[in-house]
A and B are shown apart, each in its own frame.
Chain A
Amino acid sequence: MQVLFIIAILVLAFVIIFQISKASEYVAVLRGWERTRKQTNRINAFMLLAFLVLGLIGVYLCNEKFKGRILGEPASDHGVLVDRMLYVTIAVTFVVFLITQIALFWFSYKYQESDDRKAFFYPHNNTLELIWTVIPAIALTVLVGFGIVYWFRITGDAPKDAMQVEVVGKQFGWEFRYPGADGILGKKYFKNVDPAAGNPAGQIWEDSTNKDDVFVEQEMHLVVGKPVKLVIGAKDVIHDVGLVHFRMKMDAVPGTPTTMWFTPKYTTKEMKEKTGNPDFVYELSCDQMCGKGHWSMRGVVVVETQAEFDAWLASKKPQYLVANPDKDPSKKNDTPAATTNAVAIN
């Protein structure tokens, strides 16, 4: 109903506009084309000026309305650099924006056609052109300089003591693997992937570093203040690990592992207080178009203290034992033959 209503209004408006337009052309011819043209010229010149003034007020109001909704404080050390660069760039470009837009619309208004003025023949001026080549070049050099320094800091090697987590994207969810006590992620091969046999990550069980690796889905746990290096991959199509509060982002590409590292600054609990939002969680979003469920490909990141993290990790059983229950020392197993098939595939 609403749609039909809107369409009806549009059609009606359309017919009215057309009739007015036709009529105004006849009137213009009757009144004298030149006179009407000059009047229209004055009206449009005024409207350009009005557009500038109202537009700038609009820019201000828009900022007032939305500035509180862009994510507050960055929650990682790298995020601080990203935000600093962002605000410096906003400041520089906003000055240029103001100067050029005001000049554009003010000149348009001021130099509107008038019988008293002759246009000024001014084909070029090398000094002026040199000035506005050099000044932007200098400003950009500064921005590029800062940007590249920060960029190398962010993309440089992770610290030696960083913990590792493997993140894998698939249509449409996230999988994580923790290296366990040895701190090494075991080798894997995509042809080993077999969720039914308890091997969703395709781990190679012969690799002994795999024996303590922990596999979880949808929820990643990190330690506050401890650098973390994510080893990122994808199973099917390209995804992207977007961590909006940490200001981090990296594609997950099938066949080509990528990495990124950062240090979380606040626990989830602290962020709940900081944002005043009791429902706050760190979210992991897919930022690369990956199919029909792209928009809902959500993961959760829990940042906690080392003690909480250790307790959480200890509560998880290594995937090797999930896939091979007969090897589980905590279980009394009477039928060892049942699960050996899964291993035999290798």
Chain B
Amino acid sequence: MSEVLNQQAAVTDGAHVAHPHEQAHEHHHETFVSKYIFSMDHKTIGKQFLITGIVWAIIGGLFSVLFRLQLGYPEESFPILETFFGEWAKGGQIQPEFYYGLVTIHGTVLVFFVLTAGLSGTFANLLIPLQVGARDMASPFMNMLSYWFFFLAGVVMLSSIFVHTGPASGGWTMYPPLSALRQAGDGQKLGADLWLVSMALFIISSLLGGLNYIATILNMRTKGMSMTRMPLPIWAMFFTAILGVLSFPVLLSGAILLLFDRNLGTSFYLSDIVVNGEILPNEGGSAILYQHLFWFLGHPEVYIILLPAMGMVSEILSVNSRKPIFGYMAMLGSLFAIAILAFLVWAHHMFVTGLNPFLGSVFVLLTLLIAVPSAIKVFNWLTTIWRGNIRFTPATLFAIGFVSLFISGGLTGIFLGNSTIDIHLHDTMFVVAHFHIVMGVASFFGMFAGVYHWFPKMFGRYLNNTMAYMHFWVTMIGSYLIFWPMHYQGLAGVPRRYLDKRGWVSFNDFADLDKMITVVSIVVFAVQLLFVFNFFYSIFKGRKVRTQNPWGANTLEWTTPINPGHGNWEGDIPEVHRWPYDYGKDGREFIPQTEPVSAQESKSH
């Protein structure tokens, strides 16, 4: 036992070694501020990430409703918009600068603040210590800093919305020279500087968090928790953190060079420019350099968003099918393969930038290679539920929805990764449909699955089931209604970021479809508000959890008290004796990881 304790000594104070049976949380004198605001408890920090993420998701989602109004009803005016947004919606019509500001902030916020911080930040923080058997993160202080840097990034981003010239409006990718030149538009003035500063703060946050996750997973597993006995969410978070730590600094360099170009007169990205009649002195820079730096993060970022969802879905499908995850090692191997390939495919976003065609062909090959580990994962999920005994908790439904969306959106990736087809589909609505399904909505489904599954662990209460099922079904049906027909717009070549297509002969054919999509997205947004309501209502009024292990799961988090304090386990941290997926083995419904392997047990696994 003392080995376990020594292993943990770094996390908590030395008192545990001397008095192993004292309860962990009795050591802290917690005030409101130290417990809920500047908390160093990984569970509280996880909840902070989640709630902040929810706030940002509402803002980002609301923005999408606003620009969908413009797309669906370009000819109508909505006086209510002028009431709220003044000259940005003059005469009740969304002005182009405002439209592009909305699109930019929607993308930035949802990709980085919601699906990176809100997803990884929440579940890496919550699950890593609980599932590997640690009392907290390797550095709880750094962990707290990680949240507060994220919060600061959010404050800066939010303030940019209230700037007179409007927020950044160069698209979430912020390609220079557009984003580098104040003369190029209102959104490229103060808003763009704030965007860059906010991203820099965000990157610091995500590095502090990521290093912590890696250190905790490598060093602080409880006795018996070998790497191959870790639950799949932990493996997914591990690869996610590595991806983030290796690629975010590259984006930081890209952003800083851009700040230099904007404010110090350098020419990293600028050459041969005549903007608004003004001839700029810059020569010799390369606008494409930024795209390389951006997508060197930007593509791994897709997997930073997707991998945690994959990990949680694996866990949830296994627990609720009452069956082991099929092909644990293959799941692991495919996560690893995806993580490696994620670094080698960035230029598939740049097939039509004038990239050397030979280089392009190499990226085609590497990009389509990713489909192999992705296919393995899909088939393994299918085999996991095959001959199971499936309980359709809201979490299970969202996990199944995730697999469905991942298939649909993943397959369209085979179109876009093939440079020949990409020539036609690049920057059309097809791309919008593709990445929203596979990365946006699918990851949201993974996140919802996680929230419904671990809410009882977070708050000691359940979410309301009726609202949960309604949330799932409307979101599932709505997502397909919104994004499936959108592919046809893309096949017709309709470019993305066109706020009014009536002036075009080629693209003016989809007014009815745009209206339908707008109406559905308003309904889907409303149902997300229902979820948010359910979330906050259930924190205080939800049905109480009465058993320690409500889902009958094997992993360690369900061996903690129903409402665990800081330190997670009262008394010793449990020892682990087996992998986490012994469901249905030898006729037993589940065998927790803490149970020693008995002599009679069958050997399989």
Report A's interface with B, CB cutoff 8 A. Answer: 2-4, 6, 10, 13-14, 17-18, 20-22, 24-25, 28-29, 37, 40-41, 44-45, 47-48, 51, 55, 58-59, 62, 66-67, 69-71, 78-79, 81-83, 85-86, 89-90, 92-93, 96-97, 100-101, 103-105, 107-108, 111-114, 117-125, 128-129, 132-133, 136-137, 140, 143-144, 146-148, 150-152, 154-156, 170-171, 190-191, 193, 195, 202, 232, 235-238, 240, 242, 244-245, 247-251, 253-259, 277, 279-281, 283, 285-296, 298
Q: A14-B530, A93-B411, A247-B424 are in contact. Are A119 and B388 (CB under 8 A)?
A: yes
The majority secondary structure among interface residues of chain A is: helix
Chain B contacts with A in 179-193, Cβ cutoff 8 A: 181, 184-187
Q: A40-B465, A101-B407 are in contact. Are A238 and B287 (CB under 8 A)?
A: yes
Q: A85-B421, A93-B415, A236-B184 are in contact. Are A132 and B357 (CB under 8 A)?
A: no
Residue B435 lies at the interface, judged by CB distance under 8 Å to chain A: no
What is the bound-complex CA distance between A178 and B271, given in angstroms? 24
Contacts A14-B526, A40-B465, A123-B326 given; 4 further ones with Cβ under 8 A?
Answer: A136-B372, A146-B420, A236-B273, A249-B426
Residue B96 lies at the interface, judged by CB distance under 8 Å to chain A: yes
Our pick among B274, B361, B469 for the contact of A236 (Cβ within 8 Å) is B274
Q: Are A41 and B391 in contact (CB under 8 A)?
A: yes
Q: Can you show 15 pairs from A to B with CB atoms below 8 A apart?
A: A2-B78, A14-B533, A82-B420, A108-B390, A123-B581, A125-B327, A129-B376, A143-B368, A171-B184, A235-B275, A251-B353, A255-B287, A285-B493, A289-B170, A291-B178
Between B279, B392, B491, B504, the greatest number of chain A beta carbons within 10 A of the residue's beta carbon is seen for B392
Q: Are B96 and A89 in contact (CB under 8 A)?
A: no
What is the bound-complex CA distance between A13 and B474, given in angstroms? 14
Q: A40-B392, A113-B389 are in contact. Are A100 and B175 (CB under 8 A)?
A: no
Specify which chain B residues have a CB less than 8 angstroms from the CB of A245 in the assembled complex.
506
Q: A17-B530, A70-B491 are in contact. Are A150 and B420 (CB under 8 A)?
A: yes
Q: A104-B407, A144-B364, A291-B185 are in contact. Are A122 and B495 (CB under 8 A)?
A: no
Tally of contact residues, B, Cβ under 8 A = 133
Between B185, B322, B420, the greatest number of chain A beta carbons within 10 A of the residue's beta carbon is seen for B420
Q: Which 5 A-B pairs have the closest CB atoms?
A: A255-B271, A258-B354, A244-B493, A155-B357, A119-B584
What is the bound-complex CA distance between A199 and B355, given in angstroms? 30
Residue B572 lies at the interface, judged by CB distance under 8 Å to chain A: no
Chain B contacts with A in 338-379, Cβ cutoff 8 A: 352-354, 357, 360-361, 364-365, 368-369, 371-372, 375-376, 378-379
Specify which chain B residues have a CB less than 8 angstroms from the CB of A285 in the assembled complex.
493, 495, 504, 506-507
Q: Are B392 and A21 in contact (CB under 8 A)?
A: no
Q: A289-B170, A289-B175, A296-B503 are in contact. Are A89 and B421 (CB under 8 A)?
A: yes
Q: Are B418 and A85 in contact (CB under 8 A)?
A: yes
Q: A100-B378, A235-B275 are in contact. Are A47 and B497 (CB under 8 A)?
A: no
How far does the Cβ of B452 sit from chain A's closest Cβ, in whole Å?
13
Residue B397 lies at the interface, judged by CB distance under 8 Å to chain A: yes
Q: Mark B309-349, 1 if CB is under 8 A from A, else 0.
A: 00000000000011111111110000000000000000000
Residue B382 lies at the interface, judged by CB distance under 8 Å to chain A: yes
Our pick among B273, B279, B376, B493 for the contact of A255 (Cβ within 8 Å) is B273
Our pick among B412, B420, B498 for the contact of A81 (Cβ within 8 Å) is B420
Specify which chain B residues have a CB less than 8 angstroms from the CB of A287 in the assembled complex.
426-428, 495
Q: A105-B404, A254-B287 are in contact. Are A143 and B418 (CB under 8 A)?
A: yes
What is the bound-complex CA distance between A325 and B171, given in angstroms? 44
Q: Are A124 and B327 in contact (CB under 8 A)?
A: yes
Residue B464 lies at the interface, judged by CB distance under 8 Å to chain A: yes
The chain A residue with its CB closest to the CB of B177 is A237
Specify which chain A residues have a CB less than 8 angstroms from the CB of B321 in the assembled complex.
111, 119
What is the bound-complex CA distance between A277 and B387, given in angstroms? 55
Residue B85 lies at the interface, judged by CB distance under 8 Å to chain A: no
Specify which chain B residues have a CB less than 8 angstroms from the CB of A293 in the assembled complex.
96
Specify which chain A residues have a CB less than 8 angstroms from the CB of B196 in the assembled complex.
none
What is the bound-complex CA distance between A53 and B584, given in angstroms? 31
Chain B contacts with A in 481-511, Cβ cutoff 8 A: 484-485, 488, 491-493, 495, 497-501, 503-507, 509-510
Q: A82-B424, A111-B390, A238-B177 are in contact. Are A258 and B323 (CB under 8 A)?
A: no
Q: Are B364 and A148 in contact (CB under 8 A)?
A: yes
Residue B585 lies at the interface, judged by CB distance under 8 Å to chain A: yes
Q: A108-B400, A111-B389, A280-B505 are in contact. Are A136 and B371 (CB under 8 A)?
A: yes
How far does the Cβ of A235 sit from chain B's closest Cβ, in whole Å?
5
Q: Are A129 and B364 in contact (CB under 8 A)?
A: no
Residue B605 lies at the interface, judged by CB distance under 8 Å to chain A: yes
Q: Are A18 and B275 in contact (CB under 8 A)?
A: no
